[in-house]
Amino acid sequence: MSTDPTPRPHATAEEVAAARHDRKLANVLYHDWEAASYDDKWSISYDERCITYAADRFRHAVDDHGGDDRWPYGRALELGCGTGFFLLNLMQAGLTARGSVTDLSPGMVAAALRNAENLGLDVDGRVADAEQIPYDDATFDVVVGHAVLHHIPDLDRAFREVLRVLKPGGRFVFAGEPTRLGDRYARLLGGLTWKATTAVTRLPALRGWRRPQTELDESSRAAALEAVVDVHTFDPAELEALARAAGAADVRVVTEELTAAMLGWPVRTFEAAVPPDKLGFGWAMFAYRSWLRLSWLDEHVLARVVPRAWFYNALITGTRPA
Ligand SMILES: C[S@@+](CC[C@H](N)C(=O)[O-])C[C@H]1O[C@@H](n2cnc3c(N)ncnc32)[C@H](O)[C@@H]1O
């Protein structure tokens, strides 16, 4: 596979049709397509808000609320880095001083390297498949990923590769993976929100709230690819078993976000269905503060009484046996 991080142009309708039968090609097309607007779409930033969010995910996974685990780690690798959201923010939080970002999508690797350069971080990048990591055995002290496992067809192979490139005793942390049940209610609520918003904005009085048809068509093409790039959803116990079978030790899956996800998915879908200039700073603050309140409720109340499989996000950690 090429290691040249040159982005591809937008996908054509023919490429989209071909990618329906090839999950990896679909991932490259879809994420190359998304790379330029990805940070805006997912409200990704490289300031205190996302630094805290990324560090909290890592610590939640390793159950390290005191914050001392083994920070700072030595060399770190990210799989499926996207624009660099997870590792670059973890580096800013002090996880490590030296990072390597990898992704199947050249457009994403280029975006992550640009972000790293703007932040003044020591990061190198390669276009790489997580099932075939282009680094030597025992290179890294920590391997991380966010929202990537559910895109990888052969997870057994990917976990074996992670363990191979980790030093003995090294740790992996993957966060932001959809649970089986969480994915069902998120898709249902998102789908209903999309239908309701696009129907209501056909009314003459609400025409100004309707996105141009070309943009709605592009969203539909993106949704068709999205259905191909999302390969897995996870039952927490099955995910633990998968990592153990690949040879990992100290494996643990925790989950988070129940009511926060039930709010978050309709909000994100609504934001995608209307013109961006209709929703100002007030809306963004309302959505963010509501999400924070519901996340608190999920973490401090519901996590004590609701089974872990019901929450939307799964986080997994484990180590390479020493
Ligand atoms: C949902 S995005 C998440 C990006 C980023 N980690 C984040 O949280 O913002 C998933 C990323 O995984 C990448 N990806 C998909 N399949 C992959 C594979 N087999 N190997 C490496 N990366 C992959 C995609 O190209 C995409 O950039």
For the chain, which residues score pLDDT lower than 50?
Answer: 1-7
Handedness of CA 113, 117, 120, 123 (dihedral sign): positive
> With a 6 A CB cut-off, is 233 part of the ligand 1 pocket?
no
pLDDT of res. 3: 41
Of 145, 165, 164, 143, the C-alpha closest to 77 is 143
Measured at the CA of 219, the angle between CA 214 and CA 225, to 5 degrees, comes to 130
Strand 98-103 relative to strand 313-319, pairing: unpaired
Mutation choice for ligand 1 from 27, 149, 315, CB with most ligand atoms inside 8 A: 27
- Interatomic CA distance for residues 59 and 313, integer angstroms: 15
Mutation choice for ligand 1 from 33, 89, 103, 127, CB with most ligand atoms inside 8 A: 103
- Interatomic CA distance for residues 88 and 100, integer angstroms: 10
Q: Do the Cβ atoms of 264 and 291 come closer than 8 Å? A: yes
Which residue is closest in CA terms to ligand 1's atom 10? 148
